[in-house]
Amino acid sequence: MRPSDIHCSSAIHIDRELPGDKSISHRAAIIAAIGDGESVIQNRATGADVVSTLQCLSQLGVEIETSATEIRVKGKGLNGLQKADRHLDCGNSGTTARLLAGVLAGQPFESVLAGDESLSRRPMRRIAHPLRRMGAGIQISEDGTLPMTISGSVLKGLSHTLEAASAQVKSCLLLAGMYAQGETTIFETIPTRDHTERLLPFIRKEFLPDGHKLTVQGGCSILPFNITVPGDFSSAAFLIAAGILIPDSHIRLRRVGLNPTRTGLLDVLEKMGAQVTIENHVVDAIEPFGDIVVSYNGETLHGCFLDEKIIAGIIDEIPILAVLGTQTDSGLEIRNASELRNKECDRIRAIVYNLRQMGAEVDEFEDGLFVHPSNLRPAAIKTFGDHRIAMAFTIAAMAAGGVSTLDDSECVAISFPGFMKYLGIEPTDRHRELLSC
């Protein structure tokens, strides 16, 4: 754990690309590993979560070469993975655990998935139950958490409606469906990120009046592919907020992923009256991308009410949206977002705690929060070891002026190791006490 001081900020000027999207990088690596031939993933995500996925795949016998920007994966084909000689450590990464579980459910050997303290608290029944129905032997703790022992088997196709909107559960079951006899059909009533479907074009997608129906036929083979992963929109979100909040800032983020299932934040910012523009928008790629441009204009944001329909599309952006909520004219209310309590930490609690530390007025609900218009003051920020809480409150601290302290600046490396450098912050280890400037 590395504490650091966040000082009041002068204008932020950024004009560059971002490391590749984390969700796409996980999926590209896993899909390439069970594909045929060598696949190349360029502009890979650089964070620790994707490293967890790559390490697990190596343990399963997959040859992987990585450089600072690229991953080369020698696919083993659908049935070429080997039993790992010890448990597979998914670190902090829910995507690693849940997506790999889908693949491992169809293997003729036993695997054990484990994770760090945070991941070992996160719910796994949501994948354990449907995977058991497909025929896999799944053991989890009494609390429904990791470690998970998976006794792979010949699976049978499944028809399943997602209870909670979750791209991880959807992807887990689609991957398991590739190992099943017959068809596997997943219904989602609220659309979630569709990166898995985009990388596996043989998944059939039907748009129904009440949601999406996705169908995969067992036994399809995956051809080698070459993908340049667009910049991570969820990382961009923090820098977009810096451009909105910090006077005289100008931000241009090039070639950022603009998959519509991920960019709900842009819709919300438009409603809030923030000036964010998209240039060089490329839509005819596997994953759409473009440049995001934000210039500080000092205008007060409009208040907003966000609930069920939009939540899945902004789920990882809620911590930074809550920070922006303090700068609105009538407040920001977020409801139907109890999934936030199941993330790397209980994010509702973490947001409420830190906003209150910074002097904001916030109401907490079981399924969300209401952030009142508030002035922020410097404070001692507690990250709860959660990368997105750390990044959201680094931006809040910069906007607040003075000097705030962050109890753990290193956890940003889970998704965005270069985050502090993009903001021109050289983390210092001085101390945790509040200083004033």
Q: The dihedral of CA 264, 266, 267, 271: what is its sign?
A: positive
**Complex with ligand S3P: residue 162 or 369, whichever CB lies closer:** 162
Report the residue from 168, 327, 374, 383 that binds ligand S3P according to the rule CB under 6 A.
168
Determine the Cα–Cα distance for residues 94 and 304; give it in Å rounded to an integer: 30
Query: Is 429 among the catalytic positions?
Result: no
The pattern of x and - marking residues 140 through 159 that bind ligand S3P according to CB under 6 A reads --------------------
**Complex with ligand S3P: residue 78 or 175, whichever CB lies closer:** 175
Query: What is the SS3 string spanning 22-76?
Result: HHHHHHHHHHHHCCCCEEEEECCCCCHHHHHHHHHHHHCCCEEEECCCEEEEECC
Q: Residue 434 in contact with residue 403, Cβ under 8 Å?
A: yes
Q: Considering the complex, what minimum distance in angstroms separates the CB of residue 248 from ligand S3P?
A: 32
Determine the Cα–Cα distance for residues 173 and 156; give it in Å rounded to an integer: 11
Report the residue from 315, 334, 337, 371 that binds ligand S3P according to the rule CB under 6 A.
315
Query: Count residues contacting ligand S3P (CB under 6 A)?
Result: 10
Report the residue from 232, 291, 316, 410 that binds ligand S3P according to the rule CB under 6 A.
316
**Eight-class DSSP state of 336:** S
Q: Considering the complex, what minimum distance in angstroms separates the CB of residue 415 from ligand S3P?
A: 8
Closest among 126, 56, 60 to 91, alpha carbons compared: 56
Helix extents (H) in 287-346: 308-314, 318-325
Q: Residue 100 in contact with residue 53, Cβ under 8 Å?
A: yes
**Complex with ligand S3P: residue 9 or 383, whichever CB lies closer:** 383
Q: Considering the complex, what minimum distance in angstroms separates the CB of residue 219 from ligand S3P?
A: 24
Helix extents (H) in 64-215: 94-104, 125-133, 167-177, 195-199
Does position 167 interact with ligand S3P (CB under 6 A)? The reply is yes
Determine the Cα–Cα distance for residues 328 and 88; give it in Å rounded to an integer: 45
Helix-then-strand count for the chain, H and E: 13, 25
Q: Considering the complex, what minimum distance in angstroms separates the CB of residue 327 from ligand S3P?
A: 24
The contacts of residue 148 (CB under 8 Å, 6+ apart) are: 97, 101, 112, 113, 124, 128, 138, 139, 140
Does position 404 interact with ligand S3P (CB under 6 A)? The reply is no
**Complex with ligand S3P: residue 193 or 212, whichever CB lies closer:** 193
Q: The dihedral of CA 140, 143, 146, 147: what is its sign?
A: negative
Q: Considering the complex, what minimum distance in angstroms separates the CB of residue 333 from ligand S3P?
A: 20
Does position 348 interact with ligand S3P (CB under 6 A)? The reply is no
**Eight-class DSSP state of 162:** -
> Can you read off the two tokens belonging to residue 87?
């448990």
Determine the Cα–Cα distance for residues 261 and 313; give it in Å rounded to an integer: 6
| Residues 321-340 interacting with ligand S3P (rule: CB under 6 A) | 339
Stretch that binds ligand S3P, among 167-175, 225-233, 249-257, 300-308 (CB under 6 A): 167-175
Stretch that binds ligand S3P, among 3-11, 160-168, 276-284, 291-299 (CB under 6 A): 160-168
Among residues 5, 49, 316, 386, the one annotated as catalytic is: 316
Report the residue from 44, 76, 160, 193 that binds ligand S3P according to the rule CB under 6 A.
193
Helix (H) or strand (E) segment spanning residue 150: strand 148-151
The pattern of x and - marking residues 23 through 42 that bind ligand S3P according to CB under 6 A reads x-------------------
Q: Considering the complex, what minimum distance in angstroms separates the CB of residue 34 from ligand S3P?
A: 17
Q: Considering the complex, what minimum distance in angstroms separates the CB of residue 225 from ligand S3P?
A: 18
Query: Residues 115, 287, 41, 102: what is their CA dihedral angle, to the nearest 10 degrees?
Result: 40
The type of residue at 108 is P
**Eight-class DSSP state of 82:** -
The pattern of x and - marking residues 80 through 119 that bind ligand S3P according to CB under 6 A reads ---------------x------------------------
**Complex with ligand S3P: residue 349 or 377, whichever CB lies closer:** 349
List the catalytic residues: 316
Q: Which residues bind ligand S3P (CB under 6 A)?
A: 23, 95, 166-168, 171, 193, 315-316, 339
